[in-house]
Every structure is written in C-alpha cells, then in structure tokens.
C-alpha cells in the first residue's frame, strides 16, 4: 500500500479556476486532511460532480469517478456497497448536489451511507457563467433571473439533518485549518457526513466576496451541543449569519452497509463468485 | 387414451389468486413430463378487474398460449363474456357458482357447469383463496392427473403451517371427489388421462427469473432498480437471493439512482446490472451515454410494455426497439440482446454479464412483458459455474499489482480497443473514470487529436465483439415458401406455428441480437432461397423491418404487426399462412 503524500496527490494538470476562487483552498484542505489521516492512495475514492467543483477531478491524483451532473452521489453509494472498506468522498457544487441531485442527497442521508460529501457552495452556477443556484438569496439578479430570484434558498443542511444524515458541518473556504479538521472528522465518521463549504466566487458572485464572509460567518462556541437534532435545525433556521463547525452529529446510528448481512465479514468485491452453484436456486423451479 | 396436450385457463378478479393457481397447474403438468407455457393477463390494479392465467401443456412441445381452451374456470359468471372467442364446441366452462342459466348466453358454444369452488374451500375450513386449490382438484380429476403430485405442488408452493397444509389437501381431495361424482352421474366428461412420462427433468420459470438466474450464474453481485412493471420481477427475484448468494440488491430512490448505483458498483469492480421498463429506462438514458464513454461494464434490462408514456403498464410490446438502439446522446458502442424463450433469457443474461466486463461497454437486454412474466419449461442448465474475470488489471485482485507508479493507464490505446481496467484498492493503478472525453489516464481533454483517438479506440472493439455475439436461429423448411423473421419473444409463437402440418413449407429466423446487427449471418440464411420474407414484430411501424433494410441488402420485406398490448397467436399466423388473411388485430404492411 502507498501512503498518501502531497506529492502523490499532485496532478500533472494545472487548475483552471479563476484567480481568487475558493476552490483552491478547499482542494488544499482536502489534500491536507487525507495526508493527516495517514490513509493510503489505494483506499480513497473520490466521486466528482459536474461544475467548477467537479473539475477538481483533474487536479488531484486518486481513484476517481467523474460522473454526470447531479448523479455522483448515486455512484458513490454503489461504490461503497461494492467495497465498503474504501473511503468514499463526494465532491460537487450547490447546483449539482442541492439542485440536480437533491433526491440522491436525500437518499444518501436517509440511508446514512458512509460517504463524506463536500459541497462547494458558492451560491451560483459558475461554470455556466453565473446563474442563480438553489442556495442563492431571494432577489438575486443573475442572467437566468434578471428580474430577481423569486424562490427562497434551499435549507439543504436542515434537509440533511432532518433526514438521517449522521454528520452535518459547515466550513468556509477562507478558514483553512478549520476546513482540514472538519473534513478529517467527516471522513472518520462512519455514516453520511455532509460538509457544506461556503466559498466566494469572485467572477459571478460579487455580493458574497471575502469581505462579506468575514462579516457573516462565526464559529460555534464550545458550549454548542451537536447531538441535539431539533436544536441544530432551529439554530440554522433562525440564524442570520453562517455558523461554522459541526452542526449535528449522531453517534447512535450505524452506516447503511452495516445493515446488510452479506457484507458482515467481507466486502462484496472480496466475495467475487469464482464458483457459482445453482443447486439451491433452482429448487423452486423443479 | 392418453392425453398428450391440454389448454387450460382460469379467470377471476385481480387479487383472487389465479396467478398462483395457474402457476401450480403448470408445475403439475411439468412434473408429468410435459412441456409447458403459462401466459398471464392482468390489469394495472391490485383488486378487481379481470385476471387470468392460461396453461398450454403438450408432450411434443408447448412454446406459447393457445387460443381455444379445453377447460375454462371462471370465478364469476360474468367473465364468460370475456372469453367467448376462446371457446368452441369442445370446450368446457366451470363456473364457480351454485347454478348456471345457459339461456342467458345464446352465443356460447361451450358446455357449462356450475360447481361452487368457494363452498368446497369453506366447507373444509379453508380461506376463500383456497377456491384456487379447489380449482386444481377439479382440474386434476378432469384431466386424469395424479392427485398426489398436485398436492405436493400445492404444499411446496405455499409452505404454510401444517394445519393449513392439511386443509389445503382436504380442499384438493374434496374438489377432486365432487368432480368425480359429476363424471359418474354423466353430467361431466373427463378429457382423458394426461400422459405422464415419468421423467421430470425440466425447470419451470418466468423470463424474469431466468434473467436473474443467468446473471447470478455469471457472478452478478449488484442489482439496483426502481419498481416498474414488467421489470419488477427481476428486482423481486434477485432481492430474494441475497441470503444465498454474494449479491447486494438495492431498491433505489429512482431510476437515475438505480443506474448510477450500478455504475458505481461496476467501477468498484463487481459485476452489476440494472433494469426498468420504457419510462424508467428513459430516465437512465443520460447515464447510459456515460457508461459508453467511460467504458463501464454494465448490463441494463429493458422490459418493454406497451407505450408511449405510461401506456398499458401490464401489456406487452416491442415498440421500444428504436429507442433502445439509439438511447443515449453522442455515439458509443453497445450490445442489444433480444432473447426469445425462457431458456435463452437464462443464457443471454449470463452472456450479457460476461460481454459487459470483457468489452467494457453497456449490454442491453431487451425483453417484454409477454415472456418476462410467462412461465415456460426449459431444460435444466449446468448447475456448477466457473467465473473468470475479463479485461481487468491483475484479474481484478485487490492489493499489489507489481506496477510502479505512473506506469498504468486506464484507457491505454490498444489494437482491439480494450484496455485493462483497474479498480480502487489496487496499488499503483490510479485512474479517473470520466464522463468527459479523456486521455489515456482518464483526465478530461478537449484536444482534437486525443478526442479522435479516444473515439476510435472505443469503436475498435466492434470487430472482436462480433465473434462473441449469439447468431440468428433458422428453423423449419430448407426450401421454404415463406420465411418468418422475428426477434425477442415472438419466436415462441413461431415455434408453435412450425409444429403444425400447415407450416411444412415455412421457416423461421429468430434474431437473439440486433446490435451489432448480424448482417452477414442474416444475408447468408436467406441467400438462394426463393421465399417471401415476413417480419413479425410487436409495434405499429415496422421498426425491425426498417432495421433489416438498413443493415442488410434485403429489401423485399413485408411486416406483420401487432400493437394492441397482446402477444401474437400461433393460430392467427397459421390462418394467414393458409388463407393469406390476417384478422383485424394485426396490420400487414
């Protein structure tokens, strides 16, 4: 097995993100977290959505699946069921995971599949030049909503907390060290972990720049109890600003694959049937 | 005299259990050594509506339902009207009632007798659903079948408590005896004694079960699906195998999830399959294109029902042919298998799983409601299967590969287009499986030269692939006046046609694979034959005929089409062969 190092993770491809994009620091935090966890190159799989965030696929060397817009979470679940010893990480944007793929997010939460999801949340569809997204503020003027966005933003974290996700956190691309710690905690959590990473988009979201974030994020204090589901949801609902840290963690729920008896001893891939005897299966047809 | 064939039908409201009794009757016939085909019709609802199961059993072979019935059992008198066209002077109808007034049905040609099956069940303290068991006892008596065999079939199927089993057997025996009394009184006549060969070596299963079993034999380890008639049978079958075989079956949140779960599992190295019917398959189409470009080994079953849109959920069709052939944006290689009988469903499902892995592409199995939900007897297969891995780095073994970092390329160009596939967990074999066009490692590219090379690499698989595909089947006269060409389940009906004396100058060609199309093989089969060519298909526009014209040099084709949700009937085809006339249920173009 090959220990993960920053060198090994380095892709030969040059990132194509805009100067000042939050993606650079999120990628740095992810790599740092993987190194600090002491994982091997072979045991990590990353699934990428479509969008600026999904383009991370080309900028990190790892076992990767760069799927379709919105569907990556469903791929990640299949990977985990086939080989639950893998650390499966899902990377996508707010459009991908909270919009096109919302039903798959809900399914992943309900199942508490052991997948760590990083949502690069810049409140815009940036790769398609800046239309409003499911997390854009009401009234947002964009090329697709020139008269102002009528919808209210999706309460994605409450959807996750309210529907079985075992670990829900919020990070900010401007706080590298905290991001590293949250990503590590998410990967170590055995169950579904959602880490919503707030990030500026300097090209298409002029309203929420670094200065705006400095004013609008705050760290959860030490007295905060992340095990209280109802309180976590209420706080998110009521807070005018964005709290950072572990918002909710359920230590009493086991991951989906633990509920499948045929995976108790070995992963599915370790049980490849070199020999299949149909004697038992044909009994009902005789 | 021994009876060598029978046509039996039972008809009731949905929810009254006749699907079970038809299956059990079919099973009992099979146990006596006869070939069996058991066709069901039912509406898309849970309670009420007309539901029927019909069994054709014959010593010489039975590959489809037959129109004219020896015995029809109806649980409600009014259903007689639904079956008038299937009854003639030789038919017997048993109505589940105390009395029957024949004068109300002047157009009825058959003999009718009232026997209260529900009362027989109730008198033995059994559940009203046991009227079905009474029907089986009655049938066993009328066809001179072995009551003990019938009893065993009933007990095996329901595997209920001992107390319930005793009641079931009492119902069966009582119905048998009451029928015997009718015969003794001269009010009923036995059909004869159904032959028993003493050899019970066949298996009886549906097309859905055969697909599931074939895939299992080939080492399928992952199936994900969302329920949709008539694909649901595969989901149910495989889900129930999870305790006995190393397979995970996932009922997904929707069809988008279903195919993408399967893609993820296949990427991680297990053999994976998904399935749906037309509407659900439509949702999978973008992902099918992903499978194509990313070279993911995946089997997709399309269980066709009559469309468009929600269409006729519980009725058959082959109308999705063009859709299946072209599903997915962009261009990519695919295989479309179109199995005919239940045995071929087993064989081609097994083949599909292997082909997908070997050639790293989507393999579609197109079937339909008719054969997926019909029970058909088939020879017992070899029970012990050895599975090797194909086109995988280090034969798919996890851990050390012996490679050094940077040496491995997932999409390395090769003569036959196939590159060894690594899976997560193997050392020094990192790769990116990519829905974007990609370079040999898997990184996205927009480079013109790399793009062309990647397209050509994937297309290059075609040549090697062709050798592994199932060939068209030719049966019947070597110097035929007419050749009947079909694909998928229709061959079952045409085999029945060939059994008839009137078809001695006829041949059939069955296509078990329509993509890549067997151009040379089909041309070879009809070469030098001065036969008229007819294409039989379950659609209204002649999609298969158009495909044959596009893919071969054949031009002189006529089409016999059926598109009302019902299967072809061998009687109708035979009538056409004799009189050149088709009834109004068909269209000749």
Contacts of B185 (CB under 8 A, 6+ apart): none
Strands B298-306 and B335-337 come out as: unpaired
- Which residues, numbered 184 to 223 in chain B, qualify as contacts with chain A under a Cβ-Cβ cut-off of 8 Å? 200, 203-205, 209, 213, 216-219, 221-222
Which residues on chain A are in Cβ contact (under 8 Å) with B209? 285
Whether residue B537 contacts residue B545, with contact meaning beta carbons closer than 8 Å, is answered with yes
Geometric angle at alpha carbon B470, from B469 and B473, rounded to 5°: 150
Mean pLDDT within B323-332 = 98
Contact B260 A78 (CB under 8 A): yes
* Rounded distance between C-alpha atoms, residue A201 and residue B571, angstroms: 70
Whether residue B396 contacts residue B429, with contact meaning beta carbons closer than 8 Å, is answered with no
* Dihedral sign (CA A283, A284, B2, B4): negative
pTM of the model: 0.97
The yes-or-no verdict on residue A2 having pLDDT over 90 is yes
Which pLDDT tens digit goes with each residue over B341-368?
999 999 999 999 999 999 999 999 999 9
* Rounded distance between C-alpha atoms, residue A71 and residue A76, angstroms: 9
Task: For residue A160, give how far its alpha carbon lies from the nearest alpha carbon of chain B (Å).
Answer: 16
The closest alpha carbon to B62, from B496, B390, B445, belongs to B496
> Measured between CB atoms, does A265 come within 8 Å of chain B?
no
Q: Binning pLDDT at 50, 70 and 90, where does residue B101 land?
A: very high
Task: For residue B128, give how far its alpha carbon lies from the nearest alpha carbon of chain A (Å).
Answer: 25
- Which residues, numbered 360 to 399 in chain B, qualify as contacts with chain A under a Cβ-Cβ cut-off of 8 Å? 380-381, 383-389, 396, 398-399
Looking at chain B, the whole-number percentage of residues with pLDDT higher than 90 is: 95
Interface test with B, best of A3, A66, A78, A264 (most B CBs within 10 A): A78
Reported as type and span, the H/E element at residue B230 is none
Q: Binning pLDDT at 50, 70 and 90, where does residue B515 land?
A: very high
Q: Binning pLDDT at 50, 70 and 90, where does residue B232 land?
A: very high
What pLDDT is recorded for position A152?
A: 97
Least confident among B1-5, B93-97, B248-252, B380-384: B1-5
Contact A75 B260 (CB under 8 A): yes
Which pLDDT tens digit goes with each residue over A4-29?
999 999 999 999 999 999 999 999 99
Number of CB pairs < 8 Å for A and B?
229
For residue A15, give Cα distances in angstroms to A21, A119, A138, A175, B431: 11, 18, 32, 20, 18
Is ipTM > 0.90 here? Answer: yes
What pLDDT is recorded for position B161?
A: 84
Contact B387 A276 (CB under 8 A): yes
Geometric angle at alpha carbon B115, from B110 and B117, rounded to 5°: 125
Whether residue B309 contacts residue B559, with contact meaning beta carbons closer than 8 Å, is answered with no
Q: Binning pLDDT at 50, 70 and 90, where does residue B159 land?
A: confident
Q: What mean pLDDT, rounded, does chain B reach?
A: 96
Q: Binning pLDDT at 50, 70 and 90, where does residue A132 land?
A: very high
Strands A193-198 and B202-206 come out as: unpaired
Whether residue A124 contacts residue A136, with contact meaning beta carbons closer than 8 Å, is answered with yes
- If you measure CA to CA, which chain B residue comes closest to A76? B264
Q: Binning pLDDT at 50, 70 and 90, where does residue B433 land?
A: very high
- Which residues, numbered 2 to 31 in chain A, qualify as contacts with chain B under a Cβ-Cβ cut-off of 8 Å? 2, 8, 11-13
- If you measure CA to CA, which chain B residue comes closest to A256? B250
- Could you tell me the end-to-end alpha-carbon distance of chain B, in angstroms, rounded to an integer? 45
> Measured between CB atoms, does B244 come within 8 Å of chain A?
yes
Q: What mean pLDDT, rounded, does chain A reach?
A: 97
DSSP state of B32: T
* Rounded distance between C-alpha atoms, residue A270 and residue A267, angstroms: 5
Among the partner-chain residues A12, A61, A79, the one whose CB lies closest to the CB of B265 is A79
Q: Binning pLDDT at 50, 70 and 90, where does residue B128 land?
A: confident
Which residues on chain B are in Cβ contact (under 8 Å) with A276? 216-219, 245, 384-385, 387
DSSP state of B198: S
Which pLDDT tens digit goes with each residue over A178-205?
999 999 999 999 999 999 999 999 999 9
Contact A50 B389 (CB under 8 A): no
Contacts of A248 (CB under 8 A, 6+ apart): A161, A165, A167, A168, A226, A227, A229, A232
Task: For residue A59, give how far its alpha carbon lies from the nearest alpha carbon of chain B (Å).
Answer: 9
Residue A224 burial (CB count, 10 A):
15
CA A180 to chain centre: 14
> Measured between CB atoms, does B50 come within 8 Å of chain A?
no
> Measured between CB atoms, does A66 come within 8 Å of chain B?
yes
Question: Three-class SS of residue B313?
Answer: strand
The DSSP line for B361-393 is: SEEEEEEEHHHHSSEEEEEPPPSEEE----SBG
Among the partner-chain residues B247, B266, B424, the one whose CB lies closest to the CB of A63 is B424
Q: Which structure tokens are listed for A106?
A: 């809900």
Please name each of the domains of chain B with its CATH number: 2-200 (3.40.920.10), 204-379 (3.40.50.970), 391-468 (no CATH), 473-588 (3.40.50.920)
Q: Length of chain A, please?
A: 286
* Dihedral sign (CA B316, B320, B325, B331): negative
Half-sphere exposure of A74 (CA within 13 A, CB side): 29
What pLDDT is recorded for position B59?
A: 96
Which residues on chain A are in Cβ contact (under 8 Å) with B241? 281
Q: Which structure tokens are listed for A152?
A: 């209210």
* Rounded distance between C-alpha atoms, residue B565 and residue B554, angstroms: 29
* Rounded distance between C-alpha atoms, residue A214 and residue A56, angstroms: 25
Q: Binning pLDDT at 50, 70 and 90, where does residue B48 land?
A: confident
* Rounded distance between C-alpha atoms, residue B29 and residue B55, angstroms: 9
Contact B430 A63 (CB under 8 A): yes
* Rounded distance between C-alpha atoms, residue A164 and residue A159, angstroms: 9
The DSSP line for chain A is: --B--HHHHB-SSPP-PPTT-THHHHHHHHHHHHHHTT-BGGGEEEEE-SSTTGGGGGGB-SEEEE--TTTHHHHHHHHHHH-TTSEEEEEEEHHIIIIITHHHHHHHHHHT-SEEEEEEE-SEETTTT-EE-TTSPTT---SS-TT---SPPP-HHHHHHHTT-SEEEEEETT-HHHHHHHHHHHHHSSS-EEEEEE---TTT-SSS-HHHHHHHEEEPPTT--TT-HHHHHHHHHH-SSEEEEEEEE-SS---GGGG-GGGSSS-SGGG--SEEE-HHHHGGG-
Contact B256 A280 (CB under 8 A): no
CA B233 to chain centre: 10
Among the partner-chain residues B205, B222, B260, the one whose CB lies closest to the CB of A74 is B260
What pLDDT is recorded for position B132?
A: 96
> Measured between CB atoms, does B286 come within 8 Å of chain A?
yes
Task: For residue B276, give how far its alpha carbon lies from the nearest alpha carbon of chain A (Å).
Answer: 17
Roughly what angle, to the nearest 10 degrees, separates helices B342-359 and B207-217? 40
> Measured between CB atoms, does A276 come within 8 Å of chain B?
yes
Q: Which structure tokens are listed for A240?
A: 């005018």
> Measured between CB atoms, does B330 come within 8 Å of chain A?
no
> Measured between CB atoms, does B124 come within 8 Å of chain A?
no
Contact A78 B424 (CB under 8 A): no
The yes-or-no verdict on residue B458 having pLDDT over 90 is yes
Domain ranges of chain A: 6-285
Looking at chain A, the whole-number percentage of residues with pLDDT higher than 70 is: 100
Among the partner-chain residues A2, A83, A286, the one whose CB lies closest to the CB of B268 is A83
Which residue matches tokens 């082909």?
Answer: B355
The yes-or-no verdict on residue B164 having pLDDT over 90 is no
Which residues on chain B are in Cβ contact (under 8 Å) with A159? none
Among the partner-chain residues B256, B262, B381, the one whose CB lies closest to the CB of A78 is B262
Superfamily of domain A6-285 in the CATH hierarchy: Thiamin diphosphate (ThDP)-binding fold, Pyr/PP domains (3.40.50.970)
> Measured between CB atoms, does B407 come within 8 Å of chain A?
no
Mean pLDDT within B561-572 = 97
* Dihedral sign (CA B565, B570, B575, B578): positive
The yes-or-no verdict on residue B277 having pLDDT over 80 is yes
* Rounded distance between C-alpha atoms, residue A115 and residue A191, angstroms: 7
Which pLDDT tens digit goes with each residue over B61-76?
999 999 999 999 999 9
The closest alpha carbon to B63, from B286, B427, B343, belongs to B343
Contact A78 B266 (CB under 8 A): yes
* Rounded distance between C-alpha atoms, residue B473 and residue B341, angstroms: 12
Question: Three-class SS of residue B141?
Answer: helix
> Measured between CB atoms, does A63 come within 8 Å of chain B?
yes
* Dihedral sign (CA A267, A273, A274, A277): positive
Residue B84 burial (CB count, 10 A):
12
> Measured between CB atoms, does B436 come within 8 Å of chain A?
yes
What pLDDT is recorded for position B239?
A: 98
Question: Three-class SS of residue B474?
Answer: strand
What pLDDT is recorded for position B160?
A: 76
Q: Binning pLDDT at 50, 70 and 90, where does residue B44 land?
A: confident
Contacts of B455 (CB under 8 A, 6+ apart): B331
Q: Binning pLDDT at 50, 70 and 90, where does residue B45 land?
A: confident
The yes-or-no verdict on residue B1 having pLDDT over 80 is no
The yes-or-no verdict on residue B87 having pLDDT over 80 is yes
Q: Binning pLDDT at 50, 70 and 90, where does residue B204 land?
A: very high
Geometric angle at alpha carbon B417, from B412 and B420, rounded to 5°: 50
- For B451, counting Cβ atoms within 10 Å of its Cβ (0-12 exposed, 13-18 middle, 19+ buried), the class is middle
What pLDDT is recorded for position A213?
A: 97
Which pLDDT tens digit goes with each residue over A254-279?
999 999 999 999 999 999 999 999 99
Contact A67 B435 (CB under 8 A): yes
Among the partner-chain residues B200, B270, B386, the one whose CB lies closest to the CB of A82 is B270
Q: Which stretches of B115-166 are assigned E, i.e. beta strand?
A: none
- If you measure CA to CA, which chain B residue comes closest to A14? B443
- Which residues, numbered 91 to 130 in chain A, qualify as contacts with chain B under a Cβ-Cβ cut-off of 8 Å? 103-104, 106-107
* Rounded distance between C-alpha atoms, residue B571 and residue B460, angstroms: 45
Whether residue B194 contacts residue B366, with contact meaning beta carbons closer than 8 Å, is answered with no
Mean pLDDT within A218-229 = 96
> Measured between CB atoms, does B267 come within 8 Å of chain A?
yes
> Measured between CB atoms, does B152 come within 8 Å of chain A?
no
> Measured between CB atoms, does B437 come within 8 Å of chain A?
no
């Amino acid at each position: 097995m090959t220990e993960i190092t920053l060198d090994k993770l380095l892709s030969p491809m040059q990132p194509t993100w805009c100067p000042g994009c939050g993606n650079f620091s999120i990628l740095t935090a992810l790599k740092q977290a993987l190194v600090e966890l002491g994982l091997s190159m072979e045991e990590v799989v990353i699934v990428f959505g479509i969008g600026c965030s999904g383009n991370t696929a080309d900028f990190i060397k790892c076992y990767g699946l760069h799927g379709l817009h919105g569907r990556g979470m469903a791929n990640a679940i299949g990977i985990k069921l086939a080989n639950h010893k893998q650390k499966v990480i899902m990377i996508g944007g707010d459009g991908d995971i909270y919009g096109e793929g919302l039903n798959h997010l809900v399914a992943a939460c309900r199942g508490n599949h052991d997948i760590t999801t990083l949502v690069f949340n810049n409140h815009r569809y940036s790769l398609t030049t800046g239309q409003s997204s499911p997390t854009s503020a009401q009234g947002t003027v964009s090329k697709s909503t020139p008269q102002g966005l009528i919808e209210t933003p999706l309460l994605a974290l409450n959807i996750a907390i309210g529907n079985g996700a075992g670990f829900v956190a919020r990070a900010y691309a401007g706080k590298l060290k905290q991001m590293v710690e949250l990503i590590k905690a998410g990967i170590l959590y055995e169950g579904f972990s959602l880490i919503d990473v707030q990030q500026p988009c300097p090209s298409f979201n002029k309203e929420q720049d670094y200065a705006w974030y400095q004013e609008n994020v705050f760290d959860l204090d030490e007295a905060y109890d992340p095990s209280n589901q109802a309180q976590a949801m209420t706080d998110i609902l009521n807070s005018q600003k964005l709290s950072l840290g572990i918002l909710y963690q359920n230590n009493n729920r086991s991951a989906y694959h633990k509920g499948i008896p045929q995976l108790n001893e070995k992963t599915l891939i370790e049980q490849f049937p070199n020999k299949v005897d149909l004697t038992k299966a044909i009994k009902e047809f005789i | 005299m021994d009876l060598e064939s029978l046509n039996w039908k039972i008809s009731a409201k949905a929810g009254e259990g006749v699907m079970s009794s038809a299956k059990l009757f079919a099973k009992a016939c099979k146990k006596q050594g006869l070939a069996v085909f058991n066709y069901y019709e039912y509406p898309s609802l849970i309670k009420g509506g007309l539901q029927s199961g019909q069994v054709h059993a014959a010593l010489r072979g039975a590959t489809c339902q037959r129109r004219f019935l020896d015995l029809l059992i109806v649980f409600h008198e009014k259903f007689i009207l639904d079956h008038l066209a299937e009854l003639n002077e030789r038919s017997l109808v048993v109505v589940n009632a105390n009395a029957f007034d024949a004068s109300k049905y002047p157009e009825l040609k058959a003999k009718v007798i009232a026997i209260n099956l529900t009362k027989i069940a109730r008198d033995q303290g059994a559940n009203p659903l046991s009227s079905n068991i009474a029907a089986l006892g009655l049938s066993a008596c009328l066809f001179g079948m072995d009551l003990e065999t019938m009893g065993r079939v009933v007990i095996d199927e329901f595997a209920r408590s001992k107390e319930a089993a005793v009641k079931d057997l009492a119902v069966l025996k009582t119905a048998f005896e009451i029928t015997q009394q009718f015969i003794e009184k001269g009010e009923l006549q036995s059909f004869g004694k159904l032959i028993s060969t003493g050899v019970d070596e066949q298996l009886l299963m549906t097309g859905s079960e055969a697909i599931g079993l074939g895939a299992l034999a080939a080492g399928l380890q992952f199936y994900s699906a969302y329920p949709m008639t008539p694909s649901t049978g595969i989901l149910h079958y495989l889900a129930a195998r999870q305790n006995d075989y190393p397979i995970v079956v996932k009922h997904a949140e929707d069809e988008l999830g279903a195919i993408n779960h399967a893609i993820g599992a296949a990427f991680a190295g297990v053999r994976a399959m998904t399935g749906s019917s037309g509407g659900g398959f439509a949702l999978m189409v973008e992902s099918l294109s992903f499978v194509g470009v990313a070279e993911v080994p995946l089997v997709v079953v399309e269980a066709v029902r009559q469309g468009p849109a929600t269409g006729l959920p519980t009725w058959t069709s082959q109308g999705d042919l063009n859709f299946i052939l072209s599903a997915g944006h962009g261009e990519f290689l695919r295989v479309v298998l179109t199995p005919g009988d239940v045995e071929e469903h087993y064989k081609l499902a097994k083949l599909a799983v292997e082909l997908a892995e070997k050639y790293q592409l989507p393999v579609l199995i197109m079937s339909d409601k008719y054969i997926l939900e019909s029970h058909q007897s088939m020879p017992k297969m070899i029970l012990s299967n050895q599975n090797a891995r194909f086109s995988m780095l280090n034969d798919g073994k996890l851990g050390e590969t012996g490679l050094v970092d940077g040496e491995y390329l997932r999409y390395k160009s090769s003569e036959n287009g196939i590159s060894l596939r690594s899976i997560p967990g193997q050392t020094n074999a990192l790769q990116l499986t990519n829905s974007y066009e990609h370079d040999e490692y898997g990184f996205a590219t927009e480079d013109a030269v790399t793009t062309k090379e990647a397209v050509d690499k994937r297309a290059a698989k075609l040549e090697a692939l062709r050798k592994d595909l199932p060939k068209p089947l030719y049966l019947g006269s070597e110097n035929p006046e007419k050749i009947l060409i079909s694909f998928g389940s229709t061959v079952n009906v045409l085999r029945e046609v060939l059994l008839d004396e009137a078809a001695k100058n006829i041949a059939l060609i069955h296509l078990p694979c329509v993509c890549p199309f067997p151009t040379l093989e089909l041309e070879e089969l009809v070469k030098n034959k001065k036969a008229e060519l007819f294409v039989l298909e379950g659609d209204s526009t002649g999609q298969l005929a158009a495909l044959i014209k596009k893919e071969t040099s054949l031009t002189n084709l006529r089409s016999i089409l059926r598109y009302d949700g019902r299967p072809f009937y061998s009687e109708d085809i035979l009538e056409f062969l004799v009189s050149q006339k088709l009834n109004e249920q068909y269209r000749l173009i």
